[in-house]
Amino acid sequence: MSKINKFVPSEINTNQLWQNILDELKVTVSDATFKTFFAKSNLVSFKNNIATIGCTNQYFCEQTEIRYYSLLKDVLDRQTKKNVSLVFNVTPNSKFQIPNSQGIGPLFEIKAPQKAPVKKPFDPTTGLHPRYTLETFVVGNSNNFAHAAALGIIKKPGSEYNPFFVWGGVGIGKTHLIQAIGHEILKTHPEFEVLYCEAETFGNELVAALQKKTMPQFKKKFRSLDVFLVDDVQFIAGKEYIQDEFFHTFNKLHLGEKQIVLTSDRRPEDLAGMEERLVSRFAGGLTVDIQLPDFEMRLAIVKQKCQEKNGRMTEEAIQFLAQTIESNVRDLEGNLTQILSRAAGEEVDLEFVQNFFGIKEKTARKKVSPRKIISEVGKHFRLKHKELVGPRRIAKIALARQIAMYFLRRELGLPLTQVADILGRKDHTTIIHGVDKISRQFSTNLNLRRDVLAIRGKIYS
């Protein structure tokens, strides 16, 4: 039997071992996570049960260790049948050998951004905007089900998922998705009458038609459509006459097997002031929600938007921005626009983005000790040293302890096990959780951000 693809633990072949690890990770994590953290890394060495993982830069080393230490260890333990420890180092080369099943493969390279195709201008007839296409819609864990349903609608408009009701908070891509549906349907069915409009616009046009006595034209416009894309349907709640006309329009299209797509900031059953007959029809098809984007999705969004805006950012700057802004896609793009505007065409590096958020350059600070960090965190929260490193888990102490973890890891770069020892924790996974929590909440929790910046100022004063 051929031994080309068989891994023998007693004879460690780092190329083959890393390929086995990659194969397992591909089916364990999302595609975005795999491409961001693992496809660019490699197994530098495996000696004395210590695996050295090579990353492109220090930031990737830190993030991979913080987020995926346990996952990588589990995979390595399983592949080698040993109790493995991991070390993360920066590998000088930015290109890594990604082996194939024979242990040999092409170099992984980031392709140069291609020129964006010339887009058609905004079409007032359909209401579709050229920037909201399926190609520019970033898919991740938070919206993959909605995206998959949209593909089904595009393939068979009017027969799959009708009506299609998408709900979720502001700035998460609902408008983008339903406009993309309109664009794609027109590609395969150019003869279709497609219209995107906000529910408020529907109401305003109805009022105008009543005033001008042009109701026949109004009804013909909306009831002869093949695809009706309605944004923010919650705005007709409480408006009885508009709801009545919308109900009859909805019925006419639905009975004719015409595709209806709706968005809202809440589920159909939570639409206060909406008539029961409309709520029932909204919920009669497929209802899906879109959640806030996770880190990997935000990372992909920053890269895509940066390319669209012809901006230049280092990988570390992109990583930091994606990690800092966690509220929604709109806020993420807004901050990116401001950063690129201030950069005025120059490449944006990590220091530039940190300064944008009020974080001073780390290299310009004096060196501090772990004791100094623990002391300043304790003073800020009026806690004694023994409380910070003790077993108590009340909210105030737990928060202070997590901030201390954050500073010990991010400011001093201490290993997880050393941070655990300093804070009296038995398990380094507690440190991973604490650092990740503070990192995620830094952009959205103003009180937390104020605490972190105040403590940082005291540490380096």
Which pLDDT score, from 0 to 100, does residue 178 have? 96
pLDDT tens, 379-399? 999 999 888 888 888 888 999
Does this model's pTM top 0.85? no
Determine the 3-state secondary structure of 42 from DSSP.
strand
Residue 313 CA: distances (Å) to CA of 64, 227, 340, 350: 20, 40, 9, 8
Which pLDDT score, from 0 to 100, does residue 94 have? 36
Dist. CA 39–CA 147, nearest whole Å: 25
Which pLDDT score, from 0 to 100, does residue 351 have? 86
Mean pLDDT over 94-120 rounds to: 38
What is 14-90's CATH topology? Answer: GMP Synthetase; Chain A, domain 3 (3.30.300)
Determine the 3-state secondary structure of 107 from DSSP.
strand
Q: Which residues contact 247 (CB under 8 A, 6 or more apart)?
A: 275, 277, 278, 281
Q: Residue 367 pLDDT > 70, yes or no?
A: yes
The residue with greater pLDDT, 42 or 254, is: 254
Sequence spans of domains, the chain? 14-90, 144-289, 295-359, 363-459
Dist. CA 386–CA 404, nearest whole Å: 13
Which pLDDT score, from 0 to 100, does residue 120 have? 56
* Class at the top of the CATH hierarchy for domain 363-459: mainly alpha
The residue with greater pLDDT, 60 or 16, is: 16
pLDDT tens, 185-223? 999 999 999 999 999 999 999 999 999 999 999 999 999
Q: Residue 414 pLDDT > 80, yes or no?
A: yes
Which pLDDT score, from 0 to 100, does residue 354 have? 83
pLDDT tens, 14-26? 888 888 888 888 8
Local confidence band at 133 (pLDDT 50, 70, 90 cut-offs): very high
Averaged confidence pLDDT in the chain: 82
Q: Residue 449 pLDDT > 50, yes or no?
A: yes
Which pLDDT score, from 0 to 100, does residue 324 have? 78
Q: Which residues contact 8 (CB under 8 A, 6 or more apart)?
A: none
Contact of 435 with 410, CB cutoff 8 Å: yes
* Class at the top of the CATH hierarchy for domain 295-359: mainly alpha
CATH of domain 144-289: 3.40.50.300
Q: Residue 230 pLDDT > 50, yes or no?
A: yes
pLDDT tens, 251-285? 999 999 999 999 999 999 999 999 999 999 999 99
Q: Do domains 14-90 and 295-359 have the same CATH topology?
A: no
